[in-house]
A = this chain, B = another copy of it.
Amino acid sequence: MKKLINAVENVLTEQLQGMAAAHPELNISLDPKYITRVGAPFAGKVAIISGGGSGHEPLHGGFVGHGMLTAACPGEVFTSPTPDQMYEAAKAVASDAGVLFIVKNYTGDVLNFETAAEMVHSEGIKVQNVIVDDDVAVKDSLYTAGRRGVGTTVILEKVVGAAAEEGYGLDACADLARKVNSYGRSMGMALTSCIVPAAGKPTFTLAEDEVEIGIGIHGEPGQYREKLRPADAIVETLALEILDDGAYKRTLREWDRENATWVERDVIDEPFKAGDSVIALVNSMGGTPVSELYAVYRKLAELCEARDITIARKLVGPYITSLEMQGFSITLVKADAEILKFWDAPVSTPALRWGV
């Protein structure tokens, strides 16, 4: 295993120490591990908190800052954070406006964030959980009930972070987050595996001429393996899975603050249609050069144009990664005026910055 590490057991701690040295605008707690904005809590503003296993950097710690996350809770590599991390982070940054937890749909993450929400509630802090489940590649998997949470998370954190900055209340932030999630769809593929430091060997193996279509961000299996095809053909496969994905029924679980219990309701995500505007993310899984991402973007733009879908905004780069994995994912989020307004709002984080 060739990695820039000292000891396997210190990988996350030393990464956080490096972030602390590089970013004095962040406060970093090492026990339990969480990252917060200096100056939090911010009176009257909802605290936006996310988290999940490490190894997907810059998600989530790189998105803590003005106009995006108030705090992030990193688990060990590809491992859910524990409820005490979210609980302590929430206590550190919660104002009287409450706390919104943004949770990618992995069983461990969902359970631990639910436990954390109950703990936070018991402290008299208003709280709500929102799940991101946008991966069209697989429904149910080894790690998930329903779709996995992937690239839409980046766009959701930006948009809802800006809304919170502007003074949206907790329920309005949660509603907006659920809208962004329901408007977002993603799919990814891998050329190579990655090595989790604690494992010391590749998560999976692919032959020299083989790729995995529909990969998850932890290297979990996708739809199928195939021989490497030209980039345009691969992009078309992923983009059409997203663009042609039909109405998708999901079950939302929401925290009922009055009765201190979880309630469920079904909602339907509508498919993309001609005339839609979208925010597009062409994301590197970590080890793919930006030059290849632009080749992907080129074909994606062509496919969107052919369906009369306008890419109103875009990100091209490594935003939700799987360590050094080579490959890419595409995320499209339908963008209405509210979403575009908050996308364009100023943001200042280690990994996303404009207008500041």
Contacts and interface: CB of A to CB of B under 8 A. Distances in A.
A324 B19 contact: no
B62 A290 contact: yes
A15 B295 contact: yes
A295 B230 contact: no
A302 B62 CA distance: 21
A280 to B, nearest CB: 9
Number of copies: 2
A16 B295 CA distance: 8
A294 B6 contact: no
Given A191-B2, A297-B21, A58 B324 contact: no
Among A58, A295, A321, which residue has the most Cβ atoms of chain B within 10 A? Answer: A295
Contacts of A81: none
A298 B21 contact: yes
A275 interface: no
A57 B289 contact: yes
A91 to B, nearest CB: 26
A4 B107 CA distance: 32
B58 A5 contact: no
A208 interface: yes
A3 interface: yes
A38 interface: no
A interface, how many residues as a size bin? 35 or more
Given A316-B350, A328-B4, A289 B18 contact: no
Given A192-B2, A353-B354, A354-B354, A323 B291 contact: yes
A314 B234 contact: no
A326 interface: yes
A301 B356 contact: no
Interface of A: 2-7, 11, 14-19, 21-22, 54-55, 57-58, 62, 191-192, 208-209, 211, 228, 230-232, 234, 286-298, 301-302, 314, 316-318, 321, 323-324, 326, 328, 348, 350-351, 353-356
In the A-B complex, list the 8 residue pairs whose CB atoms are closest, starting with the nearest.
A18-B294, A18-B298, A287-B287, A4-B292, A21-B301, A4-B231, A18-B297, A6-B230
30 contacts: A2-B191, A2-B208, A2-B209, A4-B234, A5-B230, A5-B231, A5-B292, A6-B232, A6-B295, A11-B291, A11-B295, A15-B292, A15-B295, A17-B294, A17-B298, A18-B294, A18-B297, A22-B294, A22-B316, A62-B290, A286-B287, A289-B321, A290-B318, A290-B321, A290-B351, A316-B350, A318-B318, A348-B354, A354-B354, A354-B356
Given A14-B294, A291-B323, 9 more contacts: A2-B326, A3-B231, A4-B328, A11-B291, A15-B294, A54-B291, A55-B291, A289-B323, A348-B354
